[in-house]
Structure 1
Amino acid sequence: MSDATRIDARGLRCPWPALRLARALRQQGTPLEILADDPAAEREIRALAEAHGIAVTAFAIDGSPTFRIG
């Protein structure tokens, strides 16, 4: 079981997944996992994390693209 807080942003179009991630980073910090199926989400999530100096790891949960932040 993961110790990360999970954000389900499936079905949301960019920039909403990145905005949800930004809010979670401000409110609780890392580690976070975000599920996001918009094709542009990976680029925006990586850019946001890199701007904060945080590593991103991509994988899948139940077939959904998932990104671990921190």
Structure 2
Amino acid sequence: MNASPTETLLDLRGLACPMPVLKANRALRDMPPGAKLRILATDRASVADFQSYCRETGHALIAFTDTAGVLSFMIRRRAETSPS
């Protein structure tokens, strides 16, 4: 699942909504703040889904490409908030 020492690759090609976002959320929960997750998906709905997901969770969608129908998203995990 690892793409490089600084990013983790999650291949979700072939999965339909809402599975790509649910699996990415599970992966991000186990990653340290600032870590990068690259997601590969083929579901066109994933574009809007990941934009909304990042806006709602505070994670950063830092890159997006569409190459021959394979969508690639790079998400950086948000920094932990300090307890109030």
Q: What's the TM-score, normalizing by structure 1?
A: 0.84
Higher strand share: 2
Where in structure 1 are there 5+ consecutive unaligned residues? none
Structure 2 segments unaligned to the other structure (5+ residues): 77-84
* 1:5-51 C-alpha deviation (Å, 9 max, x unpaired): 01000000000000011101111143100001101011111211111
Greater Cα offset, 52-61 or 38-47: 52-61
Q: TM-score, normalised by structure 2?
A: 0.71
Greater helix share, structure number: 1
Cα drift, residue 60 of structure 1: 4.5
Please give the residue correspondences for 1:1-70 in structure 2 after superposition, counting only pairs within 5 Å: 2=4, 3-29=6-32, 30-56=35-61, 57-60=63-66, 63=68, 64-70=70-76
Residue type at the aligned position of 1:16: M
Task: Report which stretch shifted further, 8-17 or 41-50.
Answer: 41-50
* Larger Cα-atom Rg: 2
Identity of aligned residues (%): 35
